[in-house]
Amino acid sequence: MTVGTGVRRESARSKRTLILSTAIDQFGKVGYEHTKWASIADEVGIGQTALYHYFESKAHCLLTIMRLELADSLDRFITATEDEGDPEKALRAAITASLAATPTDALQRRILQNHMDLLATERQSAKEEAERLECRELVHQIEVQWTALVNKGIKARMFVKSDPKMLARLVLALVISVWRWYRPEGKLSIDAITKQVTDAAMRVVLK
């Protein structure tokens, strides 16, 4: 992603997508704590000071990445389930949509899961706090959507009679745990993992 000589430099604001994609790559591969803010500026091809025109800190950038992934997760769930009336088919579709991923998607989801603890504590920065609060609201909306789907299956007597929120959390735990250990270059393909996770999740909810 390094900008080569002879390539016209854009303003910091016009490089938002490149800044985020570079941060995802470095946070995901090197680790957030081990990534220097200056190294992102170097990779993007701007001065470190220019980064502050868009992100006031490395943490602000991280929280933005997390918020974008959570919003995308919610969108994927809604798109996968909105036209499916059968709760079991809808849940299978939701899991498949949640686990469909490019290598960059996998990095972004790993970053999200590795830093969920950031959402528990108020941030001193107004911009960081705004991102944190939006992340928390998205987490809540995601849980509400999954719980409603599980509850629909319970009411249809297709899923085991139990606390729908607990069942939804168990299914979600199976799904999101994948991003802590999955590596695109590993032996297991995401398709194979999706099948195994779906089978495990359905054993949790089906009668």
CATH code for the domain in which residue 25 is found: 1.10.10.60
Instruction: Return d(Cα 132, Cα 115) in angstroms, integer.
Output: 11
Degrees, nearest 5: CA angle 194-195-201: 85
Residue percentage of the chain with pLDDT more than 70: 93
Of the candidates 68, 73, 83, 55, the residue with the CA atom closest to the CA atom of residue 146: 73
Percent above pLDDT 90 for the chain? 84
Does residue 94 sit in the same domain as residue 171? yes
For residue 2, pLDDT over 60 is answered with: no
- Angle (deg, nearest 10), helices 87-99 and 164-181: 30
Q: What is the per-residue pLDDT for 48? A: 83
**What number is the average pLDDT over the span 70-94?**
96
Judged against a pLDDT cut of 70, whether residue 10 lies above it is answered with no
Q: What is the mean pLDDT of residues 150-159?
A: 97
CATH of residue 176: 1.10.357.10
**Mean pLDDT, rounded, of the chain:** 91
* 45 and 91 part of one domain: no
Residues 69 and 14 in one domain: no
Asked if residue 76 has pLDDT above 50, the reply is: yes
- Rounded to whole angstroms, the Cα distance separating 207 from 202 reads 9
Rounded to an integer, the average pLDDT of 93-109 is 96
Query: How many domains does the chain fold into?
Result: 2
Query: Which domain range does residue 41 map to?
Result: 1-55
Whether the pLDDT of residue 12 is over 90: the answer is no
Domain end among 33, 55, 77:
55
pLDDT of residue 4: 38
User: Are 71 and 36 in the same domain?
Assistant: no
Residue 81 sits in the same domain as residue 165: yes
Indicate if 62 and 160 belong to the same structural domain.
yes
- Give residue for tokens 């199976």: 174
pLDDT score recorded for residue 14 = 67
- Report if pTM > 0.75: yes
Of 15, 37, 55, the residue at which a domain comes to its end is 55
Both 24 and 113 in a single domain? no
Q: Is 84 helix (H, G, I), strand (E, B) or coil?
A: coil
Query: CA nearest 95: which of 186, 207, 205?
Result: 205
Structure tokens at 112: 């999200």
pLDDT in tens, 176-201: 999 999 999 999 999 999 999 999 99
- Quick one: pLDDT at residue 52? 87
Contact, 179 vs 194, CB < 8 A? no
Task: pLDDT band for 50, please (50, 70, 90 cuts).
Answer: confident
